[in-house]
Amino acid sequence: MTDPALDAASYYHDFTVLKVPINDTVMPSMKVNVTAVSPPGAPHMKDNTCINVVSEVIYEIEYSGTSGIQSVSVQFKVSNISVNSRSSLQQHFTIHFWTRTLSHTLPRSGNPGYITGAPLLIANSGAKQHMSILRSESDGSCSQFLRHTVQFGRNMRTGCKISLSPILEDSNCSYIQQKLYKAFQGMNSAEDFAVTGSAHSTQAEEWMTILIENCSVEAVNCTSCCMVPVTLEIQILWTKVGLLSNPQAQVVGTRHLYQCQPLKFLNTSLVPVTTIVTFTDMTEWPEPPRGQPQMHWKLPFDIFFPFKISLICRRHLKMLCRAALSPLVRSPGWCFVSLPHVTAAISRSYLPCQRLRNESIRCWSNIPFITVPLSRAHGKSFAHRSELKHAKRIVVKLGSAVVTRGDECGLALGRLASIVEQVSMLQNQGREMMIVTSGAVAFGKQRLRHEILLSQSVRQALHSGQSQLKDMAIPVLEARACAAAGQSGLMALYEAMFTQYSICAAQILVTNLDFHDEQKRRNLNGTLHELLRMNIVPIINTNDAVVPPPEPNSDLQGVNVISVKDNDSLAARLAVEMKTDLLIVLSDVEGLFDSPPGSDDAKLIDIFYPGDQQSVTFGTKSRVGMGGMEAKVKAALWALQGGTSVVIANGTHPKISGHVITDIVEGKKVGTFFSEVKPAGPTVEQQAEMARAGGRTLAALQPEQRAEIIYRLADLLTDQREEILLANKKDLEEAENKGRLALPLLKRLSLSTSKLNSLAIGLRQIAASSQDSVGRVIRRTRIAKDLDLEQVTVPIGVLLVIFESRPDCLPQVSALAIASGNGLLLKGGKEAAHSNQILHHLTQEALSIHGVRDAVQLVNTREEVEDLCRLDKLIDLIIPRGSSQLVRNIQKAAKGIPVMGHSEGICHVYVDTDASVEKVTRISKLWEVRDSKCEYPAACNALETLLIHRDLLRTPLFDQIIDMLRVEQVKIHAGPKFASYLTFSPSEVKSLRIEYGDLECCIEVVDSVQEAVEHIHKYGSSHTDVIITENEKTAEFFLQHVDSACVFWNASTRFSDGYRFGLGAEVGISTSRIHARGPVGIEGLLTTKWLLRGNNHVVSDFSEHGSMKYLHESLPLPQRNAN
């Protein structure tokens, strides 16, 4: 045997793969050897048969976003070929690219890309500097020395005025143009732009030329005009992912575009000039360049050309080589696979390799890096739900109750169509989907019943009558016959549904014998692998037309033995045989319960661990099918032991069946997840139950005892100051290293000695005011003699508080929950993990003095916020503390749990015509400089829209307001009416309903206080609104008519705060109209209950002829605690 194309050794001996693209000499350290996995022996002849001939070669290439290709392994499939004149061999080649960790989460390499907020690098003649743009002085003129530094990812707009008068007399047009160009560019004009944030000035490939478009005379059809630049628009194109050795954000193109005007149309004494910086993400590129990518091309979809094919085109590049077997020796040819800058010989063949016709080589995606691992080492199941999104090969088992209708005659077509849609979506993402389905018996039963009715004679139908015909007795149908009649129709239905998504399906019928016979088992395995390789969805079912009756055997006695008695065991067996990553079992219940579903104490088990079977009581089997929940659990545990993760969920519920499969793959808390890894601490459900029990004990304490706990917590905040600040320092360092938090969020995250002291003061205020919060009588009524009714305050129950980047929120909310006797679940942002951990530890230490340590729980598991919002039986109120987007997401995700908060803080300040200059400027500086836009621009009680009375336009008061905003670098957006009054207005606002959360605000003009109130009602968020005026009558009209949670007169919007209101602290600001509104303190965390004390009273005594009469007398309330 002389042909190397048939020998496995030819595919891994003699060549290596390069780690990363290089241009010069290949160093030994850059080479990666190819490792063969269980290589077969050399081919040899036995009689007239060629043994061990290579029929398929599968390469597994592991790569890293920072270090390039890490390893290459190869596996083989061999065949035995009879050698004769008609023999031929078809060889298949597959390349899998995969990564252990998502590239965009890898630590930054020595050549990091740009970080949001970092300065941009430009160069002139090799000298590096930061890109900068125009900056104005306090009088509005352009500064000659100070300029704004351009920060990556942040759009900017600046403006100022340049005087041209001194240079006009003896200057020509070119000189004036150059003068303005220099003003725009600064001291040194930019020639090149750095691709990454650490580009070296000597490395030409790390820089790109800036495209500059200067003024064009022809563009304005004014050949005799002197065109001068008045606006510079800097357009920067960037991508979220860069080159292979640089997986961070990078710049891919820059253009300077000047907008010009004729000089004769300008007021040369002061020419307004503007600079605009815009960043455009080019990761989503509409059309790739034609032909092969060039070496200098920077966009990632060309740099990662093979990976793009892997992502979209079925996750692997296949090549087909055909070789005619013949005893004659022919000269072999080489077949190559070319990667960018990497060429590896992978096979030898008689004919050149050709790509399969059904593979589109130009497949593009919006995601430059692979987001789903293309392969993973089988043998160990996923430990957490969050890892399920990495599942590549998935089996979906559809139970009989899922597929069939409630009458068990026919299929649930709508439900089945939804399942097919979800499977198709995952298949088109590049996953390998398989379906184990029931339904043939039900479908056949429907058909056979129909045939029996049609076979009745006309006489029988006429004489039986309509009502009797409906109830005509139909003989019991044998299941095998039903299966035989229903198999073809069921498969035809699947084919028609999958065709709608351009996916082909194939049917496979199996029995238990197919797994016991080794040759049949290998054939089944090969068939399934071939179907998956061809992007076909296998639909597997037990061959119920010939299956023998179930008989006892050694079922589920280890990994190597499982009898296929139903589709549950079939799905488990296939999952392990095919080395499946995930098995999804859909039935008619939500998952696994600790007792039969429907019983009073039944609880859904979120995560089930091997060995927990003793804690579960199983009920009867489902209404249809052969298995029950016990069979499902046994099959699931067997599959889990074989390395396949399992989720059992409801596939019949109309509200979730349309997305249950995709939700499971996305890691959402759906059904019961089987895991071999037990968490170190309690589950979130257990934490909620602990918080409820602890809260009830807390509410039963004396007010002095609850106050003592809060005082103790206040003392711990100051006593343990160094430990708290040390933990907070770790959070800050990690946040800065990752570069994911904007400056305002970093300020929120930061703790200081002064902050801790302020926290302690606030907590002591809460303790002092909480003496009679719980159990306070707010109403007493004498219903009748010796029958008294009281309404008293009680805790709400269990609170879930979700907060971002604010560790100081934890002790504040904990103190309010303790004072109000509520159990508390806390979910903080991961960016404050260290700070939250120590603050929660101190809170539990304070609670321990009265034995209620469990009343406050910190959720540290991988629970998603959306999953927490579904615990409607364990949580009574959700309070989000964070961005408006967070609040909106929680309001949308909350299922049956009320949410207290506000989604937006669009606060208005109306400056009336009777406002004084001193008061306006003083108030404006208060909320603009200190409390809002400068110190805390993301505050929910910061000004977003400034309403100005029309009569104030072009007055000194109006000028002072504008000057103050300009000095503080507040970007102004003009409302429609305000813009109509201006010749050259700021950028017109896109919407009057925007919460900027930054140094930006909108200015709009109104004609009266009535119009101001109408504007606030139309565009506001009912948060906080202010009037500034000296007219008391106007002020009272505003206070009474504005329907917001907080309405102020001559005071800053920033006073809308629980601490400033004297509440000690707040859990948030509510804009809802039920229960609490405005800053929510202790009172907002209480509800009431009614206590009725009687003496053998019955309602019948109060009837018309009864002996008692209703009094309904109001009784005095008990004296409140003066302390």
Please state the rounded mean pLDDT for residues 997-1001. 84
CB-based contacts of 454, cutoff 8 Å, min separation 6: none
Within 13 Å of residue 380, how many CA atoms lie on the same side as its CB? 6
Closest CA to 1068 of 1054, 1055, 1082, 1078: 1078
Q: Helices 567-577 & 518-533, crossing angle to 10 degrees?
A: 80
Residues 424 and 612: beta-carbon distance below 8 Å: no
Read off the tokens for 1082.
Answer: 């202790």
Chain centroid to CA 757: how far?
Answer: 36
How much is the pLDDT for 788?
93
Distance CA 122, CA 976 (A): 38
CB-based contacts of 647, cutoff 8 Å, min separation 6: 388, 582, 583, 584, 585, 664, 670, 671, 672, 673, 674
- Which range scores top for mean pLDDT: 14-18, 320-324, 919-923? 14-18
Q: Which residue has the higher pLDDT, 1094 or 299?
A: 1094
Residues 649 and 585: beta-carbon distance below 8 Å: yes
Please state the rounded mean pLDDT for residues 460-479. 57
Residues 395 and 434: beta-carbon distance below 8 Å: yes
pLDDT over threshold 60, residue 364: no
Q: Are strands 49-64 and 89-98 parallel, antiparallel or unpaired?
A: parallel
Please state the rounded mean pLDDT for residues 916-941. 56
Question: Residue 175 is which amino acid?
Answer: Y
How much is the pLDDT for 279?
86
Please state the rounded mean pLDDT for residues 674-684. 79
The lowest-confidence range among 77-81, 143-147, 799-803, 931-935 is 931-935
Distance CA 1069, CA 242 (A): 42
Question: Residue 1044 is which amino acid?
Answer: S
Q: Which residue has the higher pLDDT, 943 or 300?
A: 943
pLDDT over threshold 60, residue 721: yes
Distance CA 629, CA 590 (A): 11
Q: In which element (H, E) is residue 1002 found? A: strand 1000-1006
The lowest-confidence range among 193-197, 284-288, 615-619, 783-787 is 284-288
Residues 270 and 163: beta-carbon distance below 8 Å: yes
Quickly state the pLDDT bin for 95 (edges 50, 70, 90).
confident
How much is the pLDDT for 98?
66
How many Å from the N-terminal Cα to the C-terminal Cα in the chain? 101
Radius of gyration of the chain (CA): 37
pLDDT over threshold 60, residue 649: yes
pLDDT over threshold 70, residue 358: no
pLDDT over threshold 70, residue 749: yes
pLDDT digits (tens, 9 = 90+) for 1007-1056: 999 999 999 999 999 999 999 898 999 999 999 999 999 999 988 888 88
pLDDT over threshold 90, residue 538: yes
pLDDT over threshold 70, residue 680: no
Question: Residue 694 is which amino acid?
Answer: G
pLDDT above 70: percentage of residues in the chain: 75
3-state SS, 750-797, equals CCCHHHHHHHHHHHHHHHHHCCCCCCCEEEEEEEECCEEEEEEEEECC
How much is the pLDDT for 63?
65
How much is the pLDDT for 1004?
94
Residue 383, Cβ neighbours under 10 Å: how many?
Answer: 14
Distance CA 805, CA 38 (A): 51
How much is the pLDDT for 318?
31
How much is the pLDDT for 908?
93
Residues 238 and 279: beta-carbon distance below 8 Å: yes
How much is the pLDDT for 613?
65
Read off the tokens for 206.
Answer: 């790390």
Distances, alpha carbon 748 to alpha carbons 646, 803, 830, in Å? 41, 11, 14
Q: Which residue has the higher pLDDT, 829 or 1006?
A: 1006
How much is the pLDDT for 462?
54
Residues 490 and 411: beta-carbon distance below 8 Å: yes
Residues 495 and 506: beta-carbon distance below 8 Å: no
The lowest-confidence range among 160-164, 221-225, 376-380, 490-494 is 376-380
- Which range scores top for mean pLDDT: 105-109, 167-171, 1061-1065? 1061-1065
3-state SS, 916-959, equals CHHHHHHHHHHHHHHCCCCCCCCCCCCEEEEEEEHHHCCCHHHH
Please state the rounded mean pLDDT for residues 21-45. 74
Residue with tokens 């979910």: 827
Please state the rounded mean pLDDT for residues 147-173. 77
Distance CA 773, CA 769 (A): 8
pLDDT digits (tens, 9 = 90+) for 832-880: 999 999 999 999 999 999 999 999 999 877 666 777 888 888 899 999 8
Distance CA 688, CA 672 (A): 18
In the predicted model, what is the mean pLDDT of the chain?
77
- Which range scores top for mean pLDDT: 245-249, 253-257, 840-844, 901-905? 840-844
Please give the model's pTM, rounded to 2 decimal places: 0.58
How much is the pLDDT for 690?
92
pLDDT digits (tens, 9 = 90+) for 1057-1066: 887 888 777 7
pLDDT digits (tens, 9 = 90+) for 566-579: 778 888 888 988 89
How much is the pLDDT for 354?
31
3-state SS, 442-458, equals HHHHHHHHHHHHHHCCH
Distance CA 480, CA 545 (A): 4
How much is the pLDDT for 662?
92
Q: Which residue has the higher pLDDT, 474 or 253?
A: 253
Q: Are strands 1046-1049 and 1024-1028 parallel, antiparallel or unpaired?
A: parallel
CB-based contacts of 618, cutoff 8 Å, min separation 6: 596, 628, 629, 630, 633
pLDDT over threshold 70, residue 922: no
Q: Which residue has the higher pLDDT, 851 or 619?
A: 851
How much is the pLDDT for 372?
28
Question: Residue 1034 is which amino acid?
Answer: T
Distance CA 43, CA 53 (A): 6
How much is the pLDDT for 1000?
87
Q: Which residue has the higher pLDDT, 622 or 739?
A: 739
pLDDT over threshold 60, residue 103: no
Please state the rounded mean pLDDT for residues 921-931. 46
Pick left, alpha or beta for residue 474 (phi over 0 → left; psi -120 to 50 → alpha; otherwise beta). beta
The lowest-confidence range among 345-359, 367-381, 676-690 is 345-359
pLDDT over threshold 50, residue 516: yes
